[in-house]
Amino acid sequence: MTARVAGRGALAVFLVFALGYFISYLFRGVNIGFGPPLQAELGLSSRDLGLLTGVYFLAFSAVQIPAGILIDTYGPRRVNAILMLLAAAGTVVFGASHSIAGLVVGRAMVGIGVAVCLGAAFKALVQVFPLSRLPMLNGLIMAIGGMGGVVVGTPLSALMAHLDWRTVSMLIALPTVLVAVAVWFGGRAGEQLPARRPTLAEQWQGTRDIARDPGFWRLSLFAVLTGGAFYAVQSLWVAPYLRDVRGLAPDAAAGLVSVLGLSMVGGNIVLGLMARKVERLGLGLRGFAGLGMSLFLVVQLLMILPWSLPVPDALLWVAYGVFGSATILSYAVMAERYPVEMLGRVSTTMTLSMFLMIFVCQAGVGAIVDLWPTLPDGRAPAAAHRTAWAVLLGLQLLGAAAYFWPARRQTGPGTTAAR
């Protein structure tokens, strides 16, 4: 039986893990601001920049399975706090590096260090709050984290007008350490550890059961593909798209990056609050999540059309952020399917898949854009970006087909009942 914690203890758990995810999100998108000076100083190509930024997601993904086992064994508080110290060290290494190899090492350390911020938050919340509140709370966690996406827009651009990218990278280490300490001491309420600590083999078997469950992939594949495309764009390719396709100046592009981040924050909150209300009207949580992700596909299609639409760019990016955030609802869907003792591994397995897809999408967009020769003014042709986005959209349509394809209802491994 899951314990419930009221008052200040529950609020403290929510806040410290939300701050951890904010730091994770800040690291995720910081290369939007670092990209131009990195390319100028080290002569990186679009492919190099996509690969360098994607290393974060690759390292992040590589530790998801063992991290899920650690969370279910030692608790989200301990694992999250300790790994965040590695992220602090990684951003110092990144800022001190003068070669692509050093940058890759630092970026990989950061990716590993914040790898459990999301999965640990979900596991901690389910220990102190009832399941009925999870869509709203998960949305709020994502909203607070998403403010990191806002910070890497106009605020980061303004800061880098006074400080170079190396200094900014090293300065981020301080709040990372402070949040790690806050998680260690503030996330104790409601903490549940197994009465008998499972063996590594037992924990690994549970992870294998999740990965072999067809129902897990039917529920997660659409979110994995849409999340991979959304975060690949938001954390790197949105600024080049705005510059090369829309012809915006750097300041205007930075402003729309912040608009995108704010709209994602709003989307997480609004969709989380609407989830249970819509369910009472007859549309289940799974259906509502599918609807939100489907609308995200429509917005992407509108963006890659080769003619101008009679709507402001800002409105399209608001819709992109709102509906791109619908992937978070899939974590609450999983919490209905699996028991609490498996949710650390469930969430990290899903996050592993999504972040591998982010890496593939980031590197893939860079590779596709580089297939076109650069224009005399240094921009990539608009057709290059539109082609890359069309490929991403095609992949997401495959996920939508799997999500909505009729299938016999099944229970997941270890579930008590399918609800």
Contacts with 297 (C-beta within 8 Å, 6 or more apart), sequence order: 226, 393, 396, 397, 400
Query: What integer is the mean pLDDT of 1-28?
Result: 78
Residue pair 118/111 in contact by the 8 Å Cβ criterion:
no
State whether residue 247 is helix, strand or coil: coil
pLDDT at position 135: 80
Q: How many CB atoms lie within 10 A of CB 98?
A: 10
Using 50, 70 and 90 to split pLDDT, how confident is the model at 384?
very high
Phi/psi of residue 251, each to 5°? Answer: -65, -40
pLDDT at position 193: 63
DSSP H helices, 213-342, are 214-232, 238-244, 250-280, 285-304, 313-324, 329-337
Question: Is the pLDDT reported for residue 6 higher than 60?
Answer: no
pLDDT at position 17: 93
Question: What are the CA-CA distances from residue 35 to residues 198, 215, 255, 295, 338 (Å)?
Answer: 44, 39, 16, 30, 40
Residue pair 289/153 in contact by the 8 Å Cβ criterion:
no
- CATH number of the domain at 8-189+199-404, please? 1.20.1250.20
Tell me the DSSP string of 21-73.
HHHHHHHHHTHHHHHHHHHHHH---HHHHHHHHHHHHHHHHHTHHHHHHHHHH
pLDDT in tens, 295-329: 999 999 999 988 777 788 889 999 999 999 899 88
User: Domain-by-domain residue ranges, the chain?
Assistant: 8-189+199-404
pLDDT in tens, 330-380: 888 887 788 777 777 888 788 888 878 888 898 899 899 999 998 988 889
pLDDT in tens, 137-187: 888 887 888 777 677 777 887 888 888 889 998 999 999 999 999 999 988
* 337 vs 286: CA distance, rounded Å: 11
Phi-psi region of 353 (alpha: psi -120 to 50; beta: other; left: phi over 0): alpha
Going by the DSSP 8-state scheme, the letter that residue 132 receives in this structure is G
Tell me the DSSP string of 371-415.
TSPPPTTSPPPHHHHHHHHHHHHHHHHHHHHHHHS-----PPTT-
Using 50, 70 and 90 to split pLDDT, how confident is the model at 200?
low
* 47 vs 35: CA distance, rounded Å: 12
State whether residue 370 is helix, strand or coil: coil
* 311 vs 318: CA distance, rounded Å: 12
CA 25 from chain center: how many Å? 7
Phi-psi region of 183 (alpha: psi -120 to 50; beta: other; left: phi over 0): alpha
Q: How many CB atoms lie within 10 A of CB 313?
A: 16
Q: Which of 54, 400, 49 is nearest to 226 (CA)?
A: 400
State whether residue 245 is helix, strand or coil: coil
pLDDT at position 170: 92
Average pLDDT of the chain to the nearest whole number: 84
pLDDT in tens, 49-76: 777 777 887 888 888 888 888 888 888 8
State whether residue 33 is helix, strand or coil: helix
Using 50, 70 and 90 to split pLDDT, how confident is the model at 7?
low
* Dihedral, 98, 100, 105, 110 alpha carbons, nearest 10: 90
Phi/psi of residue 114, each to 5°? Answer: -110, 15
Token reading at 277: 């209300």
Question: Is the pLDDT reported for residue 411 higher than 80?
Answer: no
Question: Is the pLDDT reported for residue 277 higher than 90?
Answer: no
Q: Which of 259, 262, 284, 263 is nearest to 274 (CA)?
A: 284
pLDDT at position 3: 46
* 199 vs 181: CA distance, rounded Å: 28
